[in-house]
Structure 1
Amino acid sequence: MPASSSSAGRPYRSHSQPACIPCRKRKARCKLDETSGEKPCLMCKLHGSDCVFPSSANEVGGGGGGGKSPAPKRQRLRQAAKGSESGSVGDVGSPDPSLAQETPFTDSVATLPGAAAREETHVIGPVQSPDAQFIADYLSADPGSGPRARHMIVAQQEQYQPGRSVLFHSIRKYPMGYTESGTAGSSSCEVIGKLVEPIKDELIDVYVCLPRRRILGGWGANNSRGRYFRKVHQCFPLLDERAFKAQYKAEKNKISPTLLSSLYAHTIVYWRHTRRRGQYCPDLRYIWRQNSHSLYSDLHMTPSVSTISSLLLNISGRPLTSMIGNGVLLSSAISLAHSFGLNRNCLGWDISPGEKCLRTRLWWSIVIHDKWSSLTYGTPPHLRTTAHDVPEPSLAHFFEPNEELYNADAASVFVAFATLAQVLDVYLDHIYDLRRDTNDRCEDVSVDIQNRLAQWEDSLPAHLRASIIRGVNLDAPGSSNLRLSYLYIRLLAQKLGIDDSERHARQAPEPAAATQRKICARQAAQDIVHFVQELRDAALRDFWLSFNAFVLSSTVAFLLRSALEAAAVAVGGRQRAAGQQPARDRSLRLAGDMVRALRAHQERANWDLGSICIAQYADVVERLMTPDVEASEVIPELPQSVFSEFAEIDMMFPSLWDMFNGS
């Protein structure tokens, strides 16, 4: 009888019911599950190995009566090695070209069936690519070379350049001795699936609007819930929406469980604003922890392009709970992106237009996360502009010409956010340059950033320019998030001027110029405070990247720095206290307005982006604004450059991250 249907009470060393190949190699007893009697056997399940039984041609017994000896050991090993062969140069993209034509870049949302599903493509680096190309061309001309001669130069032949053409080779998808089933990541995904089971379809509807609509207890066309359809994906498109919808509707079980769990966790923070009264809402922090477990397992077991989307969803998820963990996940996403060739221009590749757009969007999404995480976490950026040739951000490169699924306003916001990251990169290159002369003036960099920011403003579409620059009619999805980021880069450019003037104050004092720079910087911070104060419920429930939580805390830190410096100058007697008191009061008042506005948003709309700022600086602001506290009690006398040494980090107080211990 077939091994898959053998009885659980299989006799030891039975020839009629042979053991699986791994148990034979281990010389262990092969026993199937007593409840189901189906493979994998208990030993293979324990070891996490692939439970493979001998083929029917080599099985003994059945209807013949006479026993046939098993296949020779060399033949069995040769058959096993054929499935685990790695290193051959192979095709790029989807394993099945016919499937790739119907659902472009399906690997971003699913694992395709078939033998090729056990393999993954990996880019060949510029060191080996000339040799690999030469050998592959030679083998392809030899009809007897077999499947090892398969190769793919993704770039067109007329664009071939030694060391720069993009080649891929096939590698094992799973580590040796592991299978897809029974991993720790899949169990974490199952836990998340059970927790969100009553609201699964609603969460997916919030992320991408499914073709089918359902009426759920007051959920209708006129209900406010309709405004949140496809909100997250429109603002930050990390998936091929058409392929995801088709796969979710036809074969949902083929979608990556880690990707689905990341979507659930990422979307709950938006869904909870629209849930019905008394409707169950799962514990979001617990879901994020389970999702992180599944991600780490996925990185080790089956990393793919869909893993990159899952990582970015986790990193940008709210509320923020782990700086170090996000840094590790971002590094993994960047490493995978380079491994899959996302840093290369794919416009000339022989792949579908949908896959080209998705690869370009994914790369610039990684760039956005890299630059803003570098700014907020205080770590140097990973990516260099000279290490990629991906086309510049534009609607033509991000979306297909006949694409009807995306919102034009939201797409324009995403393009603008990607180009704004390039402006931020100029600031990051300056502050993380440890080899620059500290005596060099920062004024040139500050002017360069302001000029680039002005060019960025001119490049905005007409319907978006007034919203982002003046803050009026912030109706486009994600526009509030973009305006806050824009205002903060304006503040960063002004802060460079302050640091530069303080550093050179002893050599060539310019009190008027220094005062002017401080006033401009305080006005930039004031614009951020006023913007936060004017946020309404619709904007608070809109799309926000978690990085902007640091924008709020950094703005308050700068205002406190300005107030404390003014107090130190007054106490030190270097200038009349009456001249410094208004500046100190204005800065403290702005800091207090920010904290009060964040508390109001937190209480009214459960807006979590202000939690970090409140935890860090609420008590400090309250103490400084107490009339009984003199400036000398708070800060006796500070050197003039005490804050300029770490102006780019703005971490002034200890134990800022105690609120995240144990999470």
Structure 2
Amino acid sequence: MSEATQPFPQLPVSRPYRSHKIRACDACRKRKVRCDVTSIGEDCQLCREQGKTCQYSVDEKPPRLRRLPLSDPSASERQRNNTPVLKRRHTLIDDPEKVEVPEPRAQNWEGSHVRTDDRANDAPNRSDKGRQSLHIVGPAISSDAHVLEQYMSPGWPEGRTNDNPYSVYFSDPSKPILYKKVPRGRVGLSINDNAGVNQREIFEQIFYPNATQIRQLYLAKIHPAFPVIDEKLLTEPATSQSKGAAALLCDVYASALVYWNQSPLSAGRPRPDQRYAWNLAVQALADDFLGPDLSTLQAQVVELNGRPVYSIIGNTVGNGRGVALSYSLGVNRNPSQWSIPQQEKNLRVRLWWGVLIHDRWGSFAHGTPSSISSKHHDVPIPALEMLLPHESVSLEYRRSSESFIALCQMTEILGQALPLVYDLEGNSQKDTSKVVRRIEVDLDKWEDSLPDYLSSTSNRVTVSGSSSLRLCYLSLKMLICRISLHAVSQQGSTEAIEAYRFRQVESRHAAQAIVDFITSLKTFHLAEFWLPYTTYYLTSTITLLLRFAVETTEDSVAETCVSSVKMFTSWLRHAREVDDWDLAEDCLNNCEGIIARMTKNGRRPQQKPVQEAAPPVNFFDTEPRNDWLDATLPVSYGPMDGSGQVRDLWDMFRFDEQFPV
């Protein structure tokens, strides 16, 4: 045989797969895709995409089991011993010692964010019961368990393994941190070890051959302004292909689609269906919650960041599920002194603040009470070094990370205001005023501490997340003004009339400030990172301005409010159609029906003259119970949800102001 006809040494010498000139590698054969090889000996395009090397299996087919006839005297004995009888080349293997039976694998989570497969050392751990996770021990019994741990013998009786149910992470006698080993899933319910793997493969088929570019799009557009996941899960091929990160990758792929038109991938290719993508991600995460760990919590936080919002109820339930898992894994505790790697400490701090941000700003947007109390966590605000993957990051990346720190600081201030909204017992006007003054002082200090590139006067520099941060700040100020307005209205004295009118003007100016800020944004501002809850703050702004237009007795004020709303919605329409801003679309779907029925001056059209009457004590007694504005409010809240109706946050107060405007 000549040298030209010799087979390439890296390829198997067996016959090529079917009639192909070059045999397909194992990965392409498994996924049933074309194996594109530029030249013999190089890796195919799919393996290069995943950072792998083409593998060509040359093993023969696994031997089949041969059933022995019942007349065989050794058949019953082999069945009792579970000894497989293999047939290879028409020869029986009767010696059971020569038969290799693969051992089952057990999964164990040891505080890492990626699951690892380890072989069990003893037979009982090879079952589903051996798949263990760690659950934090409550402070009521952690000190007891810690004392007992100190008096336990370091050795173990012969023939017994380490069955200590506790793991000490922090040995401070005053507040020890212990974890207890518990089954990762329900006993008797099979855990899907491949949760999200099928959905991830579907995503990679859709994005083929640009799955890596989609992950890089997430790292460029979302991660700097909201760094709650481990970057290695997206940058290292071996880690990104692990089973433990499959559900997280699905949420990353779905989240990045909102920025599809801003990437080179959009050239000549339409954006994949976002609804279908989110359905895949939601299903993958639901399977992953059957045996959750820290990777599951990362996926949940990324899903709550997703845009557009297709289900408010789904996001609210997902937020509660994420908070409960955070408590279970002890993410709400300060890990700075724990006996874990520094990388995991940083991840836990970032992850907790991601959970807290979604809990409180989602509470502000959706009208549901917050699930986290300020007294139930002690995680410090992350330092800038915890957010940067390495020191040589760009200036834009560093500034976006600082906007995340500023958002964490403002989230703490929001936590002071939410109890004033959802406390059913209510506070006195004096107590409410004290809290409001303290919040206003904290907000002023927070604004003064911002660097120039995050302040309102800096529009020359683009920092991803800064515009969303500014809108959250203005929305919080509007909430504080509305709380003060309600508190003054409950006094019921003539001395409070001027204070009420002042607070009403202040609230109207706060809403107008949001309109002025949003309409001043340019296209590149809309391409930044935005929290999905900001669309509901825009809806609240429009609702509040329309209410002032209805309630005021001054035609000039009513006309100003209505014209401002119409100008605002016109700008949002342009942002939706030209800039493809999904947040504008959500707001318009909620408010266009109301605006279409508004008159020019916000007054109800008069069909016939009405006799003048003395103004009532309660201003709202002049309105029938189901007036025209209330009839227009129940519209679908969300572009495709239909699961709820407009529930503005201001309605949670059940206002009954005592003073006419």
In the alignment, which residue of structure 2 is the partner of 1:262? 251
What SS does the aligned partner of 1:234 have? coil
Deviation of the 1:550 alpha carbon: 0.5
**How far apart in 1 are the matches of 2:63 and 2:230?**
43
Match of 2:167 among 142, 152, 173: 152
In the alignment, which residue of structure 1 is the partner of 2:64? 7
**How far apart in 2 are the matches of 1:659 and 1:415?**
31
Residue identity opposite 1:93 in structure 2: G
What SS does the aligned partner of 1:350 have? coil
Contact persistence 1:92–1:168 (CA under 8 A): no
In the alignment, which residue of structure 2 is the partner of 1:221? none
**How far apart in 1 are the matches of 2:75 and 2:437?**
77
Contact persistence 1:376–1:547 (CA under 8 A): yes
CA separation of 1:152/1:527 partners in 2, compared to 1, >3 Å: closer, same or farther? same
Q: In the alignment, is residue 622 of structure 1 matched against residue 602 of structure 2?
A: no
In the alignment, which residue of structure 2 is the partner of 1:518? 504
Residue identity opposite 1:409 in structure 2: R
Contact persistence 1:426–1:449 (CA under 8 A): yes
Contact persistence 1:61–1:67 (CA under 8 A): no
Contact persistence 1:18–1:59 (CA under 8 A): no
- Structure 1, residues 367-393: CA drift from partner, whole Å, max 9, x if none? 100001111111110101111111234
1:453-602 map, 5 Å = 453-460=443-450, 462-464=451-453, 467-470=454-457, 472-504=459-491, 506-566=492-552, 570=553, 580-602=554-576
CA separation of 1:193/1:61 partners in 2, compared to 1, >3 Å: closer, same or farther? closer
In the alignment, which residue of structure 1 is the partner of 2:139? 126
Q: In the alignment, is residue 360 of structure 1 matched against residue 349 of structure 2?
A: yes
Deviation of the 1:112 alpha carbon: 2.1
Larger radius of gyration: 2
CA separation of 1:531/1:119 partners in 2, compared to 1, >3 Å: closer, same or farther? same
Aligned residues: 554
Match of 2:303 among 309, 314, 331: 314
Deviation of the 1:365 alpha carbon: 0.8
In the alignment, which residue of structure 2 is the partner of 1:297? 287
Deviation of the 1:185 alpha carbon: 4.6
Contact persistence 1:139–1:149 (CA under 8 A): no
**How far apart in 2 are the matches of 1:437 and 1:516?**
21
- Structure 1 unaligned spans of 5+: 26-52, 70-75, 85-89, 95-106, 209-229, 571-579
Q: Please, what TM-score do these two structures have when normalized by structure 1?
A: 0.74
Contact persistence 2:332–2:377 (CA under 8 A): yes
CA separation of 1:16/1:430 partners in 2, compared to 1, >3 Å: closer, same or farther? farther
In the alignment, which residue of structure 2 is the partner of 1:226? none
1:93-242 map, 5 Å = 93-94=111-112, 107=113, 110-115=114-119, 118-144=131-157, 146-149=161-164, 151-155=166-170, 157=171, 159-161=172-174, 164-177=175-188, 185-208=196-219, 230-241=220-231
What SS does the aligned partner of 2:524 have? helix
**How far apart in 2 are the matches of 1:658 and 1:326?**
12
What SS does the aligned partner of 1:324 have? helix
What SS does the aligned partner of 2:262 have? coil
What SS does the aligned partner of 2:462 have? coil
CA separation of 1:345/1:192 partners in 2, compared to 1, >3 Å: closer, same or farther? same
Match of 2:636 among 638, 652, 656: 656
CA separation of 1:296/1:251 partners in 2, compared to 1, >3 Å: closer, same or farther? closer
Deviation of the 1:138 alpha carbon: 3.5
Residue identity opposite 2:633 in structure 1: F
In the alignment, which residue of structure 2 is the partner of 1:218? none
1:24-103 map, 5 Å = 59=84, 92-94=110-112
In the alignment, which residue of structure 1 is the partner of 2:317? 328
**How far apart in 2 are the matches of 1:517 and 1:165?**
49
Contact persistence 1:469–1:483 (CA under 8 A): yes
What SS does the aligned partner of 1:469 have? coil
Residue identity opposite 1:7 in structure 2: R
Q: Please, what TM-score do these two structures have when normalized by structure 2?
A: 0.74
1:343-354 map, 5 Å = 343-354=332-343
**How far apart in 1 are the matches of 2:162 and 2:479?**
56
Q: Which moved more, 1:623-632 or 1:274-283?
A: 623-632
Deviation of the 1:477 alpha carbon: 1.4
CA separation of 1:253/1:390 partners in 2, compared to 1, >3 Å: closer, same or farther? closer
Q: In the alignment, is residue 640 of structure 1 matched against residue 616 of structure 2?
A: no
**How far apart in 2 are the matches of 1:628 and 1:433?**
33
Residue identity opposite 1:419 in structure 2: Q
CA RMSD for the aligned pairs? Answer: 4.0
CA separation of 1:439/1:276 partners in 2, compared to 1, >3 Å: closer, same or farther? closer
More helix by share: 1
